[in-house]
Amino acid sequence: GFRMGIVGLPNVGKSTLFNALTKTAAAQAANFPFCTIEPNVGEVAVPDARLDKLAEIAKSQSIIPTRMTFVDIAGLVKGASKGEGLGNQFLANIRETDAIAHVLRCFQDDDVTHVDGRVDPVSDAETIETELIIADMESLEKRLQNITRKVRGGDKEAVQQERLMKAALAMLEEGKPARLVEVDAEDMKQWKMLQLLSSKPVLYVCNVDEDEAATGNALSAKVAEMAAAQGNAHVVISAKIEEEISQLDAEEAEMFLSELGLEEAGLDRLIRAGYELLHLETYFTVGPKEARAWTIRTGTQAPQAAGVIHGDFEKGFIRAETIAFDDFVAWGGEQGAKEAGKMRAEGKTYTVKDGDVLHFLFNT
Ligand code: GDP
């Protein structure tokens, strides 16, 4: 599955947010109770109204949403790359994630101390980014020595790696994240294997006060501006509100949200933003037993999409019977769509589309 690391300076609201994320009713949806893998790792259901619609039409007995993993990465402080705080431990945790949700304190509260004594989310963002950049530089410098030895030995892959490492290092030395290096498609695999912390996509999470959740505030506006300039994403959320919502049932939560002038829980927006950030899409499998959502990267072809369910589906892939979500709904389900000629037989080179309802045929 896909993993989002929640990072941020101390006292910005990470734990509040993480706890809300993993306790909320949506996270515990259907057959997938929130499962604690480790104390700081939680899986949440990706909210998707389409899945409920499909289940209703097909009268599916159970609904199984697709999931995303969140990791609460504590201990990030100034100097972490030099081993301050939890230092290397947290760096290792970030390395294992696909993207970073960076929580920024945009709330004013004299009772909650700020590590630097003032509330300035843009500066906080820079502090953390700098730590990631320094950590990347150090790991690259070490690895470059080894790779240079291999290059001299005539290793072709090492030549490619060395070139990418040098490009990354040049960017980092300018104080910029590795994310900004332009990487060709044929280099992408090796580039990803470098696992640079500052190359991960970033979603800024502006944690604002309760009464500013619907509107944002001056600080979150500054973050929005920074995010846009960097090509990163941002969401405005109030961790406090999310914490309260996580203790309510669905109906109560809806009332509470409308009182606050909010259309949906911030967590839903956060999860969806993470989904977008990672260029993820959903396809569905639907039957009387269960309606289920599955996550793929945008551009995934049918056999690899089948492989998300089971490796054997990919190996023995024959074809995918495909109905677009809109057709499935418009024609009242699989049978209706089939009779209307809306079920397509797609082969190995078919690129799965977001919302496709798929049925795989495969050799065993
Ligand atoms: P972490 O160190 O980043 O995990 O931060 P915590 O989640 O432990 O929060 C630190 C303190 O800030 C706690 O006392 C929270 O109750 C408080 N806090 C978190 N979010 C908000 C918020 O939106 N507004 C206010 N006023 N306090 C908050």
3-class SS at 342? coil
User: Can you give the pLDDT at residue 22?
Assistant: 77
Regions in the chain scoring below 50 on pLDDT: 25-37
* Same domain? 40 vs 72: yes
Tokens of 213: 């959740």
* Domain coverage including residue 190: 129-198
Asked if residue 97 and residue 209 are part of one domain, the reply reads yes
Q: Which residues contact 340 (CB under 8 A, 6 or more apart)?
A: 327, 331
Instruction: Give dist(CA 321, CA 139) in Å, integer.
Output: 47
> What per-residue confidence (pLDDT) applies to 304?
97
In terms of domains, do 101 and 213 share one? yes
User: What length does the chain have?
Assistant: 364
Q: How far is the CA of 102 from the centre of ligand 1 (A)?
A: 14
Looking at the structure of the chain, the number of domains it has is: 3
Does one domain contain both 179 and 192? yes
pLDDT at 204: 97
Ligand 1 centroid to 12 CA: how many Å? 6
- Whether residue 113 is found in the same domain as residue 220: yes
206 contacts 220 by C-beta, under 8 angstroms: yes
pLDDT, residue 125, reads 95
| pLDDT in the model for residue 30 | 38
Within 6 A (CB) of ligand 1 lie 8, 10-16, 107, 109, 112, 207, 209, 238-240
Structure tokens at 50: 């389409």
**Ligand 1 atom 19 nearest Cα:** 13
For this complex, say whether ipTM is above 0.90: yes
CA distance 333 to 114: 54
pLDDT at residue 310, as a whole number: 93
Residues 81 and 190 occupy one common structural domain: no
At residue 90, the pLDDT reads: 72
37 and 80 co-located in one domain = yes
Q: What is the C-alpha to C-alpha distance for residues 359 and 343, in angstroms, rounded to an integer? A: 10
Among 161, 183, 198, identify where a domain stops: 198
Report the separation in Å between the CA atom of 243 and the middle of ligand 1, taken as the mean of its atom positions: 10
Residue of minimum CA distance from atom 17 in ligand 1: 13
Please tell me the residue having the least CA distance from ligand 1 atom 20: 13
265 Cβ neighbours under 8 A, 6+ residues apart: 24, 26, 242, 245, 253, 257
The CATH number assigned to the domain holding 269 equals: 3.40.50.300
What is the structure's pLDDT at 87? 57
Residue 53 maps to a domain: no
User: The tokens 């949700």 sit on which residue?
Assistant: 101
Per-residue confidence (pLDDT) for residue 112, from 0 to 100: 80
Is the same domain home to 114 and 145? no
pLDDT in tens, 105-162: 999 887 887 777 788 999 999 999 998 999 899 999 989 988 988 898 888 889 999 9
Asked whether residue 188 falls in the same domain as residue 243, the answer is: no
14 annotated as ligand-binding: yes
* One domain, residues 85 and 163: no
**Does residue 10 share a domain with residue 113?**
yes
- State in Å: Cα 107 to ligand 1 middle: 9
Q: pLDDT value at position 36?
A: 43
Is residue 71 domain-shared with residue 168, that is, in the same domain? no
Closest atom of ligand 1 to 74 CA is 4
Ligand 1 centre distance from Cα of residue 153 (Å): 53
Q: What is the pLDDT of residue 85?
A: 55
